[in-house]
Structure 1
Amino acid sequence: MPMTRRPRLHAALRSSLRALSPLVVPLAAALAGWLPASAQAFEADSLVRQKCSGCHAPDAQGRLARIEEMRTTPEEWTVIVDRMRRLHGVKISTADMDQLLKELASTQLLTPQEQARVSYLSLWHNAQQMEDPAGKDEERFFATCVRCHSAGKVYSYRMTPKAWAKVRDTHLYTIPTVVFQLREMRWIDEADAMLGWLAGQLPYDKPWTAPATRLDGRWGVFGWQPGRGAYRGQAQITDTGKLDYRVSGSITHADGLGEDFRGEATLYGGYALRTRTVNNGLENMGAFIVEGDRARGEWHLPAPDFRTARATWLRDDGSAKIARVLPGYLLAGEKTTLTVEGLNLPEVRAADISFGGAPVKVLSARRIAPDALQIVVQSSGAKVASAALSVKGIAAPALTLAPRIDHIAITPETGRARVSVNDDHPAEGVQFEAIAYAREGKRKVALGPVPASFQLAEEKTREDDDDMRWLGAIQESGNYVPLVDFGSNPTRGLKGENSGYVKVLAQYRRGKQTYKAQAHLAVTLPDLIGRLR
């Protein structure tokens, strides 16, 4: 090529690279979490190789059979490794289990988006997620698999077609009675058909690579406990090495009561954070998904101090950040006091608040704490709409404008509680919550939780229905924990169990308007084989 053409070529290359750069950066970010399909996930000196390769022989590329053909959650890897111990005699100490889970999660973990779909199973608690099939394929899947497992357990896996096909044989080996339990169908044929369908729906794709995640530092904590309301506070996370952390902090609830917590945490796969803390003397477990400087998830305390709380943690890097706005909706004609919560919030006045042109008048605004602003507003919105709130240019979550509350509904629609057996299987409760809705034509729009009062009532399902006598009462806040134990009751007909099915009634007053809603509570037997969830 003549020398005189090189400057023109270089200019063309620079122009092409500039044009491609907006595409290259997102593509690189999208691929950053994946290993090449041919890569070997575990080094020769890894504990996975030492403990597992005796049975799971490496293939020609050095990949361990079955293990490197699936991705799942830390909880399901716990179930799998424990099964190797129980059924196949693998010698695993507590320290071994800890290290194995970290190694497995570094490459054989769901993506954060896949994990979010099944996050309701992350805490081994009495999840109230209602699973319904969508379409004929899922109806067939539910009939074949969800008789015993939750759909979420199955959706917690991504496997190769070969690995999915072997699930049938695993069932026949460990639970051969499945063929007779589901004798109304040809279970082996149905299982083969469903496993083929699942292989297409939930493919293995590629191994996961844990991103570099930095957790140590100060974090703001912003949560919501159904039945009690909002809380906020601060946490300190300290890196103690080997993907383990020390966690401590304090929160203050809306009722003014404080809560200190201290404990430890483990980060799996660069994003799946599992906390184990003691909150005011009570053992607490948490499951969070970390994305950059934000972590979202749940805290859970078991019975008898049962409660579950949603929370978002924000890293405190010194900049101003808005985490949430309470309440998240405005009703036309009402004067509403909004609380804007976040980190390092500035001093403000009414002129600093913008609703992006929405019909909202700001009456006053002030900072009440470094992490909270108080804004008094009045909406004149005549229809359901969204309002983009910003404070001195700092974006906040949008609010919903509505002319009125149309009705309330209780969640869960049918709550499930479990009676206790012993200390290993304590009672499992339910927290009911009332949600306000507006209506836009035929569409229902959720506005947010409201402080309703709850009570139970008999749901007559038989002539001598006496469920209310044995199931006890629900707290006015909607919290229910069974007080009866597992076993036959000699004073009930046929010496029946202490189980039952009753109505849950909620009532909420706002001004002169009273709203009512109804749901149901099923109190049933203990979950003695939790790993099947």
Structure 2
Amino acid sequence: MRHALPIGLCSLALLLPTSIVLASAGSEAIDRHCSACHQTQSGPQSWSRISAQRKTPEGWDMTIARMQTMHGLELPLEARRDIVKFLADTRGLAPEESAPQRELIERRLNRIESFDHPSYQEMCARCHTGGRAQLQRRPLEEWESLVHFHVGQFQTIEYQAMARDRDWFDLALNEIAPWLAETQSLENDAWEAWQQAELTSPEGDWQLWGYWPGEGDFYADVTINAAEGEDAYSLSLDGAFTSGRPLSGEGQAIVYTGYEWRASLNLNGRDLKQVLDFSGAQPSGRIFDDHDEAFGMMVEMVPHEASEPAVLASLPASLKAGERSRLVLLGYGLGEGEINLGEGVTVRNLVERSDMRLVLDVEASTDLTPGWLPMQIGEISAERLLAGYRTVDRLEVSPALGVARIGNDKTPPVSGVFTAAGYLDGADEAIPLGQVPVRWSVSPWDEIAERDEDARFAGILDAATGIFSPAGAGPNPLRQYNANSVGNLRVTASVVGQEAMQDEAQLIVTVQRWNNPPLR
């Protein structure tokens, strides 16, 4: 199995409750491979430095990679897997602690960070994401040691941009480290409570849904089974896009810290990774291409068994007046009762019906009243899941600022993936329409980009999907000075049939990504 960590952590084991301390392959591997430098301390399974930190699975894997790269640690792959599993289980983060940085864990690119400390961004997040340190917990002395490590390992750190204009070392040691010790403390109520939490197995039948860039909304039945090996999981998916195109696949997974799901999937022949938070009743997260992380989709899951009938999701989120389309409703207790989607919406054909899913062929009348469409499925009511519209009042392209990267076989390109969501201007608040049909175009962002013909050389934007494919890496003989095929572009979405309704975003197409750690 190969899960979401690109270096290949492959141990298939769902952890035991962290309140149980047992001898394990991971602790034994630490004693064997790490204790020469990290001495055993008083108490069971306790080592200097190691026991004074808590991190995500990716964080612990990066630590081991640094030990191997910088200190010559020789470690078999199996031992590395065991150590990461053990440390993530016993010295991980509680769901409440990881929640603010889920975007980083899920490899969501093009996010804009902000922090409460006035200089943390300039001091730390200029070299890597600020979230990387936010996904660690240490006491003050360990945060101070991290500052000393940076100065010792990166001798020019105090002379780089945004550091040489201040007393970097003094600020880092006397302001940043104490702030981190206060906000990212080793011991806290969230971690103590999670260690005592009763963990449940993800085994069983689930329903999953999301939006696949370039393909549209999709749904799938997911079956999770225990696999061979301690706490191993396999999963199968069987579903479809709302267009009717089948979607199927399978995969393998491991859960760290009782809720951190990491899986490798193959969906319709494409290899993908999956990161989910299984701490709640409705797990959610992201599926993405590990070689092109911009390509991915947010997903939600619910178990097949539930106590309360409800409509949980509508795919798509809106119907356009005068059009016939396929509508998928997901939830519980949908197998019986009359189907009423509101005035102006007619169910032409019942394609599929079960307790958890309705697949309908519907038609919205030309005089459909814009706004929320009150749905009634038997005794189940849902008033703010499906909207009707005639025209789009506002369009919003996401991300507003995107970064794509040229690439080649050694350093794969990173795509630009854009979506366009429509909105109605409601009386009290905007009504989201979800993804609406648009046409995409690209143009130079400014005069320099126009002069350098960036739109010609930097790559190709698919007019139908909003997916930008960067050009290849290396000198381009057609450009001035044989420059790389980088660029500064304007990406514009125009609503189909309503071309004056537009929104735009900036896309920076830059050089290859040379450093690709799990947490940047």
Q: Same fold (TM over 0.5)?
A: yes
**CA 1:234–1:337 in 2, change beyond 3 Å: closer, same or farther?**
closer
Give deviations 1:222-255, integer Å, cap 9, x for gaps. Answer: 1211332111122222212423211222331223
Deviation at 1:343, TM superposition (A): 5.8
1:426 aligns with 2:408: no
Structure 1 residue 500 corresponds to structure 2 residue 481: no
SS at match of 1:481: strand
Matches within 5 A, 1:190-269: 190-192=171-173, 193-204=175-186, 205=188, 206=191, 208-209=194-195, 211-240=198-227, 241-269=229-257
Does the CA-based 8 Å contact 2:238-2:248 persist in structure 1? Answer: yes
Equivalents in 1 of 2:437, 2:447: separation in Å?
30
Please give the alpha-carbon distance, in whole angstroms, between the structure 2 residues aligned to 1:196 and 1:318: 46
2:407 is paired with a residue whose SS is coil
Distance 2:85 2:374 in 1: 41
Other-structure match for 2:329 = 340
Judged with a 3 Å threshold, the aligned counterparts in structure 2 of structure 1 residues 276 and 457 are, in CA distance, closer, same or farther, namely: same
Rounded Cα–Cα distance in structure 1 between residues aligned with 2:318 and 2:272: 31
Q: TM-score, normalised by structure 2?
A: 0.81
- Of 496-505 and 441-450, the range deviating more from structure 2: 441-450
How far apart are 1:61 and its partner, in Å?
4.6
SS in 2 for 1:82: helix
Are the counterparts in 2 of residues 57 and 64 from structure 1 also a CA contact under 8 Å? yes
1:98 is aligned to 81
Match of 1:298 among 286, 308, 326: 286
Max Rg structure: 1
Query: Aligned to 1:55, which of 14, 34, 37?
Result: 37
TM-score w.r.t. the length of structure 1 is 0.79
Q: What is the Cα deviation at residue 88 of structure 1?
A: 2.2
Q: Is residue 2:170 matched to residue 1:189?
A: yes
Q: Is the 8 A contact 2:415 2:469 kept in 1?
A: yes
Question: Using a 3 Å threshold, how does the CA distance of structure 1 residues 243 and 362 change in structure 2: closer, same or farther?
Answer: farther
Amino acid at match of 2:149: T
User: What is the CA–CA distance in structure 1 between the aligned matches of 2:136 and 2:146, rounded to whole Å?
Assistant: 11
**Structure 1 residues 42-441: aligned runs within 5 Å:** 46-61=28-43, 63-123=46-106, 125=107, 127-133=108-114, 137=117, 139-181=118-160, 182-192=163-173, 193-204=175-186, 205=188, 206=191, 208-209=194-195, 211-240=198-227, 241-291=229-279, 293-302=281-290, 307-317=295-305, 322-328=311-317, 338-342=327-331, 345-350=334-339, 361=343, 368-369=351-352, 370=354, 371-374=357-360, 391-394=377-380, 398-399=384-385, 405-423=392-410, 425-439=411-425
CA contact (8 A) 1:235 1:248 kept: yes
Counterpart check, 1:516 vs 2:502: yes
List runs of 5+ in structure 1 lacking aligned partners.
1-31, 354-359
Task: Supply the AA of the counterpart residue of 1:98.
Answer: R
Residue 518 of structure 1, CA deviation: 1.1
One-letter amino acid of the structure 1 residue matched with residue 337 of structure 2:
V
Structure 1 window deviating more from structure 2 (436-445 vs 225-234): it is 436-445
Q: Which has the higher contact order (CA 8 A, sep 6+)?
A: 2
Secondary structure at the counterpart of residue 105 of structure 1: helix
How is 1:455-466 mapped onto 2 (pairs within 5 angstroms)? 455-462=441-448, 464-466=451-453
CA 261–402 in structure 1, closer or farther in 2 if over 3 Å, else same = closer
Q: Aligned residues: percent identity?
A: 23
Relative to structure 1, is the Cα distance of residues 227 and 426 closer, same or farther in structure 2, using a 3 angstrom cutoff? Answer: same
**2-side partners of 1:481 and 1:227: how far apart?**
13
Would you say the 8 A contact 2:242–2:327 is kept in 1? no
Local SS of the residue matching 2:451 = coil
1:161–1:109: structure 2 CA closer, same or farther, 3 Å change rule? same
Please tell me whether the aligned partners of residues 324 and 397 of structure 1 are also in contact (alpha carbons under 8 angstroms).
no
- Alpha carbons 1:120, 1:129 under 8 Å: kept: no
Q: Give 5+ residue unaligned stretches, structure 2.
A: 1-15
Preserved CA contact (<8 Å) 2:313 2:385:
no
After superposition, the Cα gap between the structure-2 partners of 1:147 and 1:363, relative to the gap in structure 1 and judged at 3 Å, is: closer
Q: Equivalent residue of 1:118, what SS?
A: helix
The AA in structure 1 aligned to 2:330 is: E
Contact 2:344–2:369 (Cα < 8 Å) also in 1: no
The alpha-carbon deviation at position 447 of structure 1 amounts to: 3.9
| SS of aligned partner of 2:470 | coil
Q: What's 2:3 paired with?
A: none
CA RMSD across the alignment: 3.6
Corresponding position: 1:470 with 2:457? yes
Q: Secondary structure at the match of 1:291?
A: coil
Partner amino acid, structure 2, of 1:488? P
Deviations along 1:420-453, whole A, 9 cap, x unmatched?
1434x21111210001134468976644221211
Check 1:303–1:50 CA distance in 2 against 1; reply closer, same or farther (3 A cut). Answer: closer
CA distance in 2, matches of 1:41, 1:140: 43
Alpha carbons 2:207, 2:302 under 8 Å: kept: yes
Given that residues 402 and 438 in structure 1 are in contact (C-alpha distance below 8 angstroms), is that contact kept between their aligned partners in structure 2?
no
- 1:48–1:458 Cα change, 3 Å: same
